Structure 1
């Protein structure tokens, strides 16, 4: 591997040729703090040659370079130069604007203008909205990958406006201002300071060396995620054979977009881990990349893995955000959706590999809708007891058990084989269920008051399970229901712990809560609910319930017993 390293300033770098952000690189990722820190560094430093680190590139074909390391800084510098150019345009200084613009866009050997920095992931927003000179700009919708670029450019423009005092300046006022403190002089000094920024320019011979350096930089503490490394490995291994479209890269972008669409951009690493331990082998997040790397021994394996990512990615997104997707309006589909929502509310991920495998088994027709519904319901009920109520310590054994059975399920070829795997899993999980006494103690500690809302979602889940599938008194949809205190929170005869306990709570629709039951005494509330066909018996609200401490405690324990008995895995 041949490596050349030289000191250069930004002026020299931008005149070397054209720089592209390769297919294995992630999009622009700097947030507000990083942009502000960079701005403060370059504006407040008085040194004529300020060092900003290194830049690693490889020669593609002269005069084109691929960027291995430094794309965040180079992109941000391009944003700053574009903002300075726009400021000169604002001041009607077209010559100065065009002078700066030559570092953003310059003619190639065919005398066709070409942007110095090429970025495929942010195309066409970066090119049309930021890099382009004024007459070329068009209105564009900002995608999720471009949003950080937009935020950074707007922040830099705001900072530049304040720095140079451009808020109300016109060209006439400019002529009357003293030199050296006028906006024009400030902009020129900033321009010169940007172009004088120093870096170590490290050049490699070819793209294969670039992939190797990319991994090495990560191993030495660079801030790269597992997904960055897996993307790098896949795109390195799968050679693109099309001139018009980079199919492997488009497949990866399609995967990223799935997570962007549901607002879970950061979930990609979790997906890859849960996919891996559901199909290949159990490992930790730290071991993941090395496992993937061992697996990718050919282009065919890399291609198959990328294809699998796309198929399983859709299922994982459905698992993360069930409400984002359309579901058939039947009891089975709605039950599956409810189980996925419940698991998200419990904030557990131990089961993710198996749930992903179960959804895939249904897609492959190894599970019927009924079997999938019962399987997910059992997983939901296990974690209701194990995590949501008794808060058992996270166990590697639970995760590895799920992984082992997920892998078996992924390899199953018939419905019988798939059903055997499910039975084995729940036999293991049933041995992990805490005793009822522990469950009851923790259940009695659940509280919902205006001042104590931490348990709200779990309490709503518990109360919702007491309701029948249909009722004539109100809208049964759990997201439309609110928690009502039977004995009001203003009552001073009971302790706050009793008033906020499940024994004093029930679910009603918002209208009933706010209008029909408001300010009513206990007997009037129960009478109204009885006449409205509210399922009082399902909610353990009998005629003996008097709203006193004894009846509230009794009802709490009855609900606890019912939920525990109807949640045990078998």
Structure 2
């Protein structure tokens, strides 16, 4: 029989000593950074000695002595870390009785059936929970267990910060001040507790509560959605699958897991704005009538496409893509183009995948040269083309939607010879031109021949022309040295100290033949390079 719906006010001491609290799998991991912990500490320390203090709402579900924390995890876990730090400081100054009291009321409980001493708060993720319990047991954790950016690292950082603040706070009267803190947490720190009787409804409560105040991340909401729509007997396995997939992105330096999910949804749905991703999957608001993406199928898709997607991020990884495809991924990364990944995924499943990807790369480069690839309309085209390929099974059917990106040779040459581009694009285009390949190795470093300073030493190329021609292809060279050498503030210095260090494939002899370097020289070189680039790309 479910317990009746219950709401009450109680102290933290009374609440924590009354039950065992588990963080359910749909919850986010411990996420507080130093700024949140610092704010939390300041709020509590300013309230110390001022009477009762209200900490906010805690939402629980479950019956008996084991409760699931639907909302309030971050505060309860941080309070546990504060209690552990208090216990450590009490032991350090010889207040053993106070340390034991903190241990029994806030940190540990006894299982009366077995006499086992069990933790009062248990986290879902086993590694993060091991960190929490180690901090409670000994006040420390091996540094080897603290992966950068992980929840374990955040737990440890929070504990270290709180213990440092406590140590500073009681250095003049430690015996009394630690007792004041323990009394405040146990008897003066209040929360409003709302207990929901229905375990299954906790997922919905979690969403409702967390759409107010500090927002959940899209990843938190999506994880909750998937687990809520997974049969209870399969949730642990689905939780593990979610986290094992998310960890792959953490290992690559925090690459966006949510972007990956959106790209996978693009394969089914076409273009979905980042802000609409959760509402689309959950069929909320304007998306109430869209076709359902079953949670199990979404997780299957996330795992199915993961190996090749990770190679798109890091082409050095092993996986299903062949050498030609990896070269294309590397080129797109150099150009900083990630919006095309759903289309590449759709193409990768086809027999002529690498050749079709090369067609897409050529379209992208031509679009970047002639127009602008950054607009959302282009990303929309990629997503719609990906969906069309998945729907029809035909690459040609999808690529037909991209024909307006496929500019003519004349348009390409005319734009490339005169337009300014950022350094990454210029370096890529120049490499591809002189190496005669659409997937050039990242050889050499791009340098501007006429730099953006020292106008007086370039009498034939004043600042009035620099804005027009300084960042065009004709004013660049690829050299074997990363740093611009000294003595290159005029044309003679460039010939002696920069062109002489150009990579072997460069147009060094042609450049050395110029008696001086002028805007006309840049235009002439730019046109020659544009024609050579068109031979590669058009």
TM above 0.5, one fold? yes
Structure 2 unpaired stretches of 5+: none
Alpha-carbon distance in structure 2 between the residues aligned to 1:434 and 1:92: 84
Q: Structure 1's 85 and 404: CA in aligned 2 closer, same or farther, altered over 3 A? A: same
Equivalent residue runs for 1:189-338 within 5 Å: 189-195=180-186, 196-220=188-212, 222-241=214-233, 246-264=236-254, 267-294=256-283, 301-319=294-312, 321-322=313-314, 325-326=317-318, 332-338=324-330
Secondary structure at the residue paired with 1:65?
strand
* Structure 2 SS opposite 1:282: coil
Unpaired stretches in structure 1, ≥5 consecutive residues = 166-180, 447-454, 471-475
Q: Is the 8 A contact 2:370 2:416 kept in 1?
A: no
When the two structures are aligned, how many residues end up with a matched partner? 514
Q: Does 2:94 align with 1:83?
A: no
Does residue 410 (structure 1) correspond to residue 390 (structure 2)? The answer is yes
The 5 Å alignment of 1:47-66 reads: 47-59=50-62, 61-66=63-68
Aligned to 2:117: 113
Give the CA deviation at 1:82. Answer: 0.8
Identify if the C-alpha distance between structure 1 residues 322 and 443 changes in structure 2 by more than 3 Å, giving closer, same or farther: farther
Change (3 A) 1:273 1:514: same
Aligned to 1:556: 526
| Structure 1 residues 271 and 517, CA gap change in structure 2 (3 angstroms) | same
- The answer (yes or no) to whether the contact 1:128–1:138 under 8 Å persists in 2 is no
The one-character-per-residue Cα deviations of 1:448-505 (angstroms, maximum 9, x if unpaired) are xxxxxxx3333322332232169xxxxx842x52233445764342335256654332
Q: Per-residue CA shift, 1:400-429, capped at 9, x if unaligned? A: 32222111222344xxx223322x133243
Does the 8 Å contact 1:343/1:383 carry over to 2? no
Task: State the TM-score, normalizing by the size of structure 1.
Answer: 0.79
SS of the residue corresponding to residue 54 of structure 1 reads: strand
Q: CA deviation at 1:232?
A: 1.1
Q: Measure how far apart 1:533 and its partner are.
A: 4.3
Q: 1:188 aligns with which of 179, 187, 190?
A: 179
Q: Could you report, residue by residue, the CA deviation over 1:367-425 in whole angstroms, capped at 9, with x for unpaired residues?
A: 3433333333433443454336xxx6x24x43332222111222344xxx223322x13
Contact 1:69/1:214, CA 8 A, preserved across alignment = yes
Counterpart Cα distance in 1 of 2:39 and 2:518: 60
CA–CA distance in 1 between the matches of 2:488 and 2:315? 30
Confirm whether residue 399 of structure 1 aligns to residue 379 of structure 2: yes
1:543 aligns with 2:513: yes
Match of 2:145 among 141, 146, 150: 141
Tell whether the 8 Å contact from 1:129 to 1:138 is kept in structure 2 after alignment.
no
1:178 matched to which residue of 2? none
Secondary structure in 2 matching 1:28 = coil
In structure 2, do the counterparts of structure 1 residues 288 and 11 end up closer, same or farther at CA, with 3 Å as the change threshold? same
Q: Following TM superposition, by how much is the alpha carbon of 1:31 offset from its aligned partner in structure 2, in angstroms?
A: 1.4
Distance 1:372 1:505 in 2: 29
